Chains A and B, each alone.
Chain A
Amino acid sequence: MESLSRGPTTKKPKEKKTKTLRHHLKLSEFKLQWSIFAVLAALFTLFIIGDPRTFLAPDIYYSFMSTIPFMAIMALALTPVIICKEIDLSFPSIMGISAWMFASLSASTGNPTLALVISLITGLLAGFLNGILVAKVGLPSLIVTIGTMFFWKGLVLVFSAAGGITLVPLRGTVLFKSLVGRIGGAVPAQALWAVGVAFLFWLILNRHKCGTHIFFTGDNIESARMMGIPVNRVRILVFTQLGFFAAFAGILLDLEMSYYWPTTGEGYLLGTLASVFLGGTSVFGGMGTIFGTFVGSIIIGSLETGIVTIGLSGYWTNLIYGLLIVISVSIHSILRRKA
């Protein structure tokens, strides 16, 4: 193998160069995650300084744990889609149709478990439809999901006739307790579900063949295809799972509210997308972390409450949202360019 090793003349300077390069790369990989974590820490430090009485007591955190998981779960499921270099704008509408399905079925059949299963399948199929349209029909995901976003939203309005459904009878059922009950009387169960889902996604993206295929498909779809990765199946899968988890989030929201609103899903689109991008997932595909998304969703989810609690008026919310997103994404971009 003599002839294969580097020539002695090129050896020395090259060695130095790649070593620092490698250093950078590894560091930046952590940096992306540290930087988002630092933003979270800074934010909560500000909250604590602004209103120590509230932010040093557990209640506000229990409240966050009850409200953030809906968005967090969808942001986690959206992450593989973005890593795959695709986009989905229809998940809030899928959340809506699945939430309606769950509410109306459990009200009409009195069997919430059946309603849960059918609702999840509805979400799964809606996501699958997106995947088929993107991967098999070959339409751009941005356009497809604008279409399906309106379609599912419209279908909900037609079916529900814009009316709400009460779910109060479900309170006290095992299903209710295990999905949105209060563990130990304080910790909302949905927070544990969100953590569980995060772990599941981390495991699949980093430790499973499937995750590797998602990264390669987003990184360079041509080389992935050439190396025998079933890129179309991968793309269908990422949309399908997002549909499934959007349905799951919809069911959780139904139960937490004990009421189905025909507007369910509205207002989740931008926050969820922001969580993913805030977390360092690249819109250019092939790069992203579950940790980043998870932290990102906590930031987005706690911002409004935090701002109001520390005494600023709610008018500040959007301004600070905007600042945070622009600053964080700029930091990510600079860190990445250095690499």
Chain B
Amino acid sequence: MEAKNEKLVRMVNISKYFGEVAALKEENFEVGYNEVVGLIGDNGAGKSTLIKILTGVHTPDKGRVYFKGEEITYHSVERARELGIETVYQERALGEQQALWKNIFMGREMTTHLGFLQVKKAKKETDKILKEVIGFTAAGLTPDSVVKGLSGGEKQGVAIARALHFKAELIILDEPTMALSLSETKKVLNFVKGIKEQGKSCIFITHNIYHVYPAADRFVVLDRGRTVGEFIKKDISLEELVDKLYLVARTGEISQ
């Protein structure tokens, strides 16, 4: 069992069918401890299906999922969260009209045993998170700021900080840079670096290789339900990777 413990996540021989369509075909996927994995692929490549199996939304038709060496036999969103797998969706992470401190503790409020909010404590904690985890001190954001006023990148930062604060081991970012400006994208990449610095792991899902390249340690390229390429960043330059992706797009194969 030693070998299994080396990885945070191991997904072995995963197959998933939707009716006749195979979304995943005997896919193997791993995430190491303190590793940032860029999961790349076009729409319909199977990225979402793979992640939804990992986060308990879907149950695989075939195959096994291990987290910290232990097999996950019961697939549910709650179970995945208990284990420390947290997904950050761009549009579905925060309540726009609510204050930051409420968002940080959304669904996990700091309360007295009667359920009354410990407002001061929560605000103080939020202030700490803003300063230490996201570095928001310069932005003039306070725990009382309303989310609506934040930029797209900042919103992701809050969601990531929240996940880290609640001891997530693996943070999954689903297209975090979609529809973001260049400087906002840069911010998100900095947050991803922050995940790494805190010793946690991250899956960064995107179809934009330029966005994920600076942040990831390893790249997994999916196409039509299976891995067609896997690269360690130090072995491959951005240009080479882009070339390979063009090849995949044309032929569905990477000659390695």
**How far does the alpha carbon of A134 sit from the alpha carbon of B112 in the complex, in Å?**
31
Residues of B in contact with A, size category: 35 or more
Task: Decide: A4 and B134 in contact? CB cutoff 8 A.
Answer: yes
Which stretch from A159-167, A225-233, A245-253, A318-326 is at the chain B interface?
A225-233
Asked if A25 is an interface residue, CB under 8 A from chain B, the answer is yes
Contacts of B138 in A (CB 8 A): 5-6, 11, 14-15
Say yes or no: A22-B141 contact (C-beta < 8 A), given A4-B135, A207-B116. yes
Q: Check A228/B81 contact, CB under 8 A, given A4-B194, A10-B183.
A: yes
A286-B96 contact given A3-B193, A25-B148, A229-B106, CB 8 Å threshold: yes
Q: A18-B139, A22-B149 are in contact. Are A226 and B92 (CB under 8 A)?
A: yes
Residue of A209, A219, A224 near B97 (CB, 8 A) is A219
Q: Does A136 contact B (CB under 8 A)?
A: no
Q: Do A227 and B148 have beta carbons less than 8 Å apart? A: no
The segment from A95-103, A144-152, A210-218, A295-303 that touches chain B is A210-218
Contact yes or no, A15 B132, CB < 8 A: no
Instruction: Give bound CA distance, A25 to B134, whole Å.
Output: 21
Judged by a CB distance under 8 angstroms, whether A19 is at the interface is yes
Find out whether the CB atom of B144 lies under 8 angstroms from the CB atom of A18: no
Q: A25-B146, A209-B111, A220-B92 are in contact. Are A287 and B97 (CB under 8 A)?
A: yes
Q: CB of A333 within 8 A of chain B?
A: no
Would you call A286 and B149 a contact (CB within 8 A)?
no
The answer, yes or no, to whether B242 is at the interface (CB within 8 Å) is no
- Asked if A223 lies at the interface with its beta carbon under 8 angstroms from chain B, I say yes
Query: Once bound together, how far apart are the Cα atoms of A299 and B194, in whole Å?
Result: 52
- The number of residues on chain A lying at the interface, defined by a beta carbon within 8 Å of a beta carbon of chain B, is 39
CB 8 Å contact bits of B78-111 with A (1 = contact, 0 = none): 1001000001010011111110001000111101
With a CB–CB cut-off of 8 A, which chain A residues contact B144? 26
B145 touches A25 (CB 8 A): yes
Q: Taking the complex as formed, is B117 at the interface, i.e. its CB lies under 8 A from any CB of chain A?
A: yes
Q: Which partner residue on chain B sits nearest A24 by CB separation?
A: B149
Report the Cα distance A1→B138, complex, angstroms: 14
Q: Find out whether the CB atom of B139 lies under 8 angstroms from the CB atom of A216.
A: no
Distance in Å from the Cβ of B20 to the closest Cβ of chain A? 29
**A224→B106 contact, CB < 8 A:** yes
Produce 1/0 per residue, A281-323, CB < 8 A to B: 0100011000000000000000000000000000000000000
A222: Cβ under 8 A from any B Cβ: yes
Bound Cα distance A213, B10 (Å): 35
Chain A, Cβ-Cβ closest to B145: A22
Q: Who on chain A is nearest to B93 by CB?
A: A223
> Which of the candidate stretches B28-36, B44-52, B65-73, B184-192 sits at the interface with the other chain?
B184-192
Q: B115 contacts A208, CB within 8 Å?
A: yes
Contact of B117 among A1, A7, A208, A223 (CB under 8 A): A208
CA distance A227 to B94 in the complex (A): 9
Expressed in whole angstroms, the minimum distance between the Cβ of B92 and any Cβ of chain A is: 5
Nearest B residue to A219 via CB reads B95
- The residues of B with any CB-CB pair to A shorter than 8 Å are 77-78, 81, 87, 89, 92-98, 102, 106-109, 111, 115-117, 119, 132-135, 137-142, 144-146, 148-150, 183, 186-187, 190-191, 193-194, 197
Q: Give 11 A-B pairs besides A207-B117, A228-B81 with Cβ atoms closer than 8 angstroms.
A: A1-B132, A1-B133, A3-B197, A4-B134, A14-B139, A22-B142, A25-B146, A209-B115, A219-B96, A220-B95, A228-B108
